[in-house]
Amino acid sequence: MNEEIRKKFGVNENQPNDWFETLYSESNDSGSGVPWANMAPHPVFKTWIDKSTAPEPGKTALVIGCGLGDDAIALESKGYKVTAFDVSESAVALCKKRFPKSKVEFVTADLLKGISSWHQKFDLVLEIFTIQALPPKYESVLIKNVSDFVADQGQLVMITEVQTPKRVFEKGPPWLLNHDYIQSFESHGLTKVSNTSSLDSEMGEEIHLTVFKR
């Protein structure tokens, strides 16, 4: 995206969440106008979840910035008890409309504020492109709040695009992460278990799938 897109959706560094509601309120259950809407699980995540073993009964999962809900449904299909949240009420409403028979708990919540009742509650936490969709000045609090959701012995599965240049507001969204994001998560009690990278053939960006464990 660029300055034109920032103006179109009203992306404001000091009101960083507002543009998500603008985007989803103008969309529908086909994902019209949402740039990142795959209408299917993210392909990198789908490859990972398809290869992973089914969880033990009762294991919980949390999807951060769930968008239109497909990744949450993939986790539910795998056997997790899933909670999925987005800061946009319209996005959550579209999830419920798209998947009326699902038992996923789709809720509205704000990652920037954190959710104290979810402290170390989830066995698996999934974060895809959410941190990089918010201005760089919030990076440290976002990483702290994401880390806080991961239960003892739980894991964080994270998919992000990575760049070398410094993250600055004028260059996004998205604001791709720098390579030191791994150390940032480890400073909050998580340990990197694996990190694989691939090249986005369309965007030419380096995509990381990183798994952390507490």
What does the DSSP 8-state code read for residue 166? P
Average pLDDT of the residues in 135-152:
97
What pLDDT sits at residue 1? 53
Average pLDDT of the residues in 201-210:
78
Average pLDDT of the residues in 134-148:
97
What pLDDT sits at residue 10? 82
Q: Which amino acid, one-letter code, is at 187?
A: S
- 61 vs 123: CA distance, rounded Å: 6
Average pLDDT of the residues in 162-173:
91
**What CATH number should be reported for the domain whose range is 3-213?**
3.40.50.150
If DSSP codes are grouped into helix, strand and coil, which group holds residue 103?
coil
What does the DSSP 8-state code read for residue 114? -
Instruction: Find how far residue 26's CA is from the centre of its chain.
Output: 21
What does the DSSP 8-state code read for residue 165? S
pLDDT tens for residues 21-38? 988 988 888 888 787 888
Confidence class of residue 204 from pLDDT cuts 50, 70 and 90?
Answer: low
Average pLDDT of the residues in 124-140:
96
Domain ranges of the chain: 3-213
Read off the tokens for 9: 């959706």
What pLDDT sits at residue 181? 97
